[in-house]
Structure 1
Amino acid sequence: WPIAHRRTRLLHDYGLDMLGQLDGAAVREFFATFFDLPLQTWSTYMRADSSPTDVGRVMAQLFRAAPWSTRRRLLRGHPADFLRLARPS
């Protein structure tokens, strides 16, 4: 796979890992926020061939749109890892 596709996959894996750390209520809140984003935005995230820059942009947009309770949970992850993965290819 080209490096950009591998980095996109790593971002998707990072997101999945973060979801796995949330309880049921937080997962529902997360997905409610995710699917409140414009269709073009969340569908970009879902594509395996999206650039890592685009996926990182969607993740940042979701973070900004999320309620503080979700943001706090997401910040418990590894933000430095996310920034390393999201850098442009």
Structure 2
Amino acid sequence: MGGSLPSRFGHVVGFGAAAGFIHPVTGYSVAASLRAAPRVARAVSDALVRDEGVEEIARVGWNAVWPISFLRTRVLHDFGLAALSRLTTADIQVFFDYFFSLPQSHWSGYLRIDTKARVIAQNMTRLFFNVPLRIKIKLVRKSPLGFIRCLLPGRFL
């Protein structure tokens, strides 16, 4: 979980778990794969109809699997997972108590790989301001500037 995405260069386009659709926090991938299937099939089909070469078909396929908006969301999910890994078990329990005290629409959006990065950043910010100070410190300790940059408004619009 949370591993790197497959290479976008080459003739093979991964899909589903093979494409890194495994959510870095939840470990789930099936729903995201099912939602992506029509989009990816349409992109590859259109490229085939245009009689594109193998490289172009692979490029179009990869871009359909991982549109830029999904990549931006993935950056935030990966950042969040790295931050959580610095917490103790007790702090993780407290963190998730606060996480699930957010409105369901906020935390359920975080659990999808296709939620807009702007929404993820807003929800991460809400959560950050609500957790106890000791957890805030641990979340930003390794990379305070990276944390701030991740949450800057407009960065992922």
Indicate whether the TM-score tops 0.5. yes
When the two chains are superposed, the root-mean-square deviation of aligned CA atoms in Å is 1.4
Which blocks of at least 5 consecutive residues in structure 2 are unaligned? Answer: 1-65
Conservation of the 8 A alpha-carbon contact between 1:4 and 1:51: yes
Equivalent residue number for residue 55 of structure 1: 120
Gaps of 5+ in 1: none
Cα deviation for residue 74 of structure 1 reads 1.2
- Structure 2 letter corresponding to 1:88: F
What percentage of aligned pairs have identical amino acids?
39
CA deviation after TM superposition for structure 1 residue 18, in Å: 0.8
TM-score calculated relative to the size of structure 2? 0.53
Q: 1:72 to 1:84 in 2, by over 3 A?
A: closer
**Consecutive aligned runs of 4 or more in structure 1 exceeding 6 Å deviation:** none
Rg larger in 1 or in 2?
Answer: 2
| Higher helix proportion | 1
The offset of 1:85, in angstroms, is: 3.9
* TM value normalised by structure 1: 0.89
How far 1:2 sits from its partner (Å)? Answer: 1.2
Match of 1:45 in 2: 110
Structure 1 residue 88 corresponds to structure 2 residue 153: no
